[in-house]
Amino acid sequence: MNRFPRPLLACLLAIAAAPAAQAAEVDCRLDFNLSGWSAFYKTAKGSGTISCDNGSRMAVSISAKGGGITFGKSRIDNGVGEFSGVRSIQETLGTYAAAEAHAGAVRSSKAQVMTKGEVSLALAGTGKGWDLGVAFGNFVIEPR
């Protein structure tokens, strides 16, 4: 004989399954353009769109700031970022810790991985400009 009436058992199972459904990760992607300069202190600004496989989309503003031994000017067009560890598009917003090494002249390539808690962002892009150095700082994504 069952210890719980069927309606109560069904309710308990639904409650137990709710956190598992909320914990499902979504795949989100950032398409962006970014330009900036550096002379010991690095700064860059840009914009982009985040789109997720659950259909959510958001226009965003991007800024990057940091210090270190770095000099140059660069522009990334049609850059791509892949988020991991995301359960909703809202978790893509915020400040990511960044560290990078870079070198380029005329045509420049950049790849970088950043973290914000359990969320990671891998960026890749090519662009124009010249730069040389090592920079540490942050990468901020905000709604536009």
Please tell me the predicted confidence (pLDDT) of residue 12. 43
Dihedral of CA atoms 44, 77, 83, 131 in degrees, nearest 10, equals -50
For 24-143, give the CATH class: mainly beta
Q: Is the pLDDT of residue 84 over 90?
A: yes
Q: Is the pLDDT of residue 59 over 50?
A: yes
Please tell me the predicted confidence (pLDDT) of residue 34. 87
d(CA 87, CA 27): 8
- Mean pLDDT of the residues in the chain: 77
More confident residue, 2 or 124: 124
**Entry pTM:** 0.73
* 94-143 pLDDT tens trace: 999 876 655 555 555 666 788 898 999 988 877 766 555 555 578 899 99
Outline where DSSP puts E strands in 20-144: 28-52, 57-84, 94-116, 119-143
